Each structure stands twice: as C-alpha cells, then as structure tokens.
Amino acid sequence: MMLATTACPLPARPALPGADYARVERALRFLVREAARRPSLVQAAQAAGLSEFHFQRLFRRWAGVTPKQFLQFLGAAHARRCLEQSRSVLDATFAAGLSSPGRLHDLMIHVDAVSPGEFRSGGVGLRIRHGVHATPFGQCLLALTERGLCSLEFVPEGGAAAALQDLAARWPRAALEHDPGRTAPVAARIFHPEGPRGPFSLLLRGTNFQIKVWEALLRVPPGRLISYGDLARRLGAPGAARAVGQAVGGNPIAYLIPCHRVIRSLGMFGDYRGGALRKRAILGWEAARGPATVPTDSAGRTPDPASPPC
C-alpha cells in the first residue's frame, strides 16, 4: 500500500551536533517553564550555557528563526488557529486519498503490515539491524529489516539501552544486530537529505486499528495539526478518541509517522513518546520551515500573551 506524507525541508549538511540540540532543549525548557515571567534573551542564553551572541547564532542555525519567533509557534492560541486552518486541508486530503495529481505530498511511504501469523510469531526469522544516530532533535535509535524500517525512537542521553530493550520486547523472537553502518544512510535520508529521498518502506507490527491510525497519520502534512477527536472522526470512529490516543502513543516510527502533529482540541500539545518538550521542538521547527509566517497584530506583536519576548 502506498501512502504519502509531506516532506519538510530539512537543514543542509553538516548535521547539527547533538550537543547543540541539548542546549536548545535546555533553553526551551526554561522558556516554557518561565513564560509567565517573560524572560529575556540573556536569561535564555544563560539557561543554555552560552553567551547571548552564541545562543542567537545557535538557535537561528537550528530553527531558522529567532527564539522569540520560535516561541510564537508554541503558544496555545497559535496551535488552536493551526487546528482550525488545517481542517479544510485535511478534509480534502483524506477525501482525495493522496493520489490526485495536485497532491501536496512528495515523500512516498510504503506500509507493509505484518500478517496475523507474523504478529503472533513475534518476529521469528526476522533480522533487525539497529544503530543510534544524531538528528536535529537529539539522538534516535533506528531499526531496519529487509522489508523496511521497523522502529525509530528518539532517546535521551544515556537512554539507548532502554530503547533497545523496548525494541526487543516488540520483536521478542527476532535476531537483533548492532549495525550502525547499515542504518546510518537511512538516518541521513530522513534527517539530512542531500537530494530526493525516494520511497521509504515501513514494516509495522500492530493491531488492525493501530495500523489504520498510523496510516491516517501519514496523511497529515508538516505545518498542519489534527486533534485526537478529529483523527477519530476521520477514521469513522468518532467515539474512539481515547483508543486513537493510545494508538498514537504506540507509534513505533517517530517523525516519519508524524504522531507529533496530533494535539488536544484546546491547543494543548499533550504527551509524546519522545518527551513533551521534544514534541514542541519538532512542531516549532516544522512551523518555522513552513510557508506560514509568525502571526502578529497591527503593531507587529504576537497576539498570544503567553509567548515571552526573547
């Protein structure tokens, strides 16, 4: 089955060192926590352990915008506006089935779901190669089979062992092999492409309902958001928002299957398997690279009072 999802522009090489994202994440944690106090750029730089000049330069290299502009993408009011603006686009996208000549998508994803027998076998006879690689959002554990990518999970510093245990639990009878040389080119194609990415194949192990949810997520392009309730309605199960949320939370292939684009209907970002702050970072990073501009009022100020001026 071929589905498509939008390919966001990604930063050109050289790849962002992991230490840079760690500093950006520390600053974001500080800014989100202290938003009501409206912290200054100097304070944000101190939280990142950098001078004001180096922090501005690092943040612009990572996000493409200033810290102040970036935070304007992370306010609840902006998220609610994005939800409203996304609905008509998603209505058309789901109705068209992503096969029309005018589709917005250019990254092709081939989904291969395991059969019921393969599901029960837990991966007997399957060889899974894995490796840890740097991304613009910290390190990730990436796992690959001959049939396609079966896992992509963001991991905190020192958290690769726990992610590997989770991978082994999901594929208990597969043969796991540490082979970063094999997985590195795939990570580069996802996060640091130098040309057309070409198609990706994903091998998914889940219930029929989970597969349906994950396939539906592939229809949500970058810069667009969808609520759990809207996603349930598009699946023809309007009363199953909670079950949809559980399936979203169980997504085994982060970023490519964009569960980070699902938020609560009131504009709250909600949880994320890779960490709530990482979800904010990915959403803000995508928004900064999208065609939309930062919303401002007639005086050039953001209309969201929760966004601190950096």
Q: Could you write out the DSSP letters of every residue in 210-224? A: HHHHHHHHTTS-TT-
- Return the beta strands (E) in the chain as ranges: 2-5, 107-113, 127-135, 138-145, 148-155, 175-178, 200-204, 226-227, 262-263
Residue 261 near residue 226, CB atoms below 8 Å: yes
259 in catalytic set: yes
CA separation for the pair 289, 244 (Å, rounded)? 28
| Whether 136 contacts 285, CB under 8 Å | yes
Cβ 71 vs Cβ 78: under 8 Å: no
Whole-number Å distance between alpha carbons of 12 and 193: 7
| 3-state SS assignment for residue 196 | coil
- Which of 82, 140, 259, 310 is catalytic? The answer is 259
Q: Catalytic residues, which ones?
A: 259
